[in-house]
Amino acid sequence: MNIRILSVILAAGIMIIGCSSSNGNDQTSEGKTPTANTSSDTEKGKVIQMNKAMFIEKVFNYEENPNTWVYKGDKPCIIDFYADWCGPCKKIAPIMVELADEYQDDIVIYKVDTDKEKELAQVFGIRSIPSILFCPVEGQPQMTMGALPKAEFDKMVQTILLNNSTETSK
């Protein structure tokens, strides 16, 4: 009997700890709490949920060209590889929403759920999340890992995607 009670208490404790990793304080500088939108790919200023078919159509057909990167988009993009259960992923989600809004005329921001899109995660060797892939229109993509501050993402957008050597941000 005591083992059952202890097991229930332990399970409840684990659930509470897991759920508390996101404390609801993910706010923008304006104090708003943006959400990562799952939008169609025609909406400007939104983070777009991406699956394998969309990735192959809009970004890179790794089935046709497994050894040669050929970007298919007309604007540079950011791809946020994330999972719903990941605390650091939840922390950068509002940053991605802000970037999508600020750079809506210049770049596209996608997000890929690594739990649902295991093949895409495997193709890019995603072992740690969040992993962020920066895809310029010309040249090779660059990957970064971890929950970085917005200023770092701004700098990478400017230097990697928009080819601006200065660190000005919009």
The CA angle 130-50-88, to the nearest 5 degrees, is 15
Helix (H) or strand (E) segment spanning residue 111: strand 108-113
Sign of CA dihedral 11, 117, 22, 48: negative
**Which residue in 157, 137, 168 sits closest to 69, CA to CA?**
137
Tokens representing residue 112 in the block: 């890929």
**Which residue in 95, 128, 96, 126 sits closest to 111, CA to CA?**
96
Instruction: Determine which one of 19, 77, 89, 135 is catalytic.
Output: 89
Instruction: Determine which one of 19, 77, 86, 135 is catalytic.
Output: 86
Identify whether 86 is a catalytic site residue.
Answer: yes
Please say whether the beta carbons of 130 and 90 come within 8 A.
no
Active-site positions read 86, 89
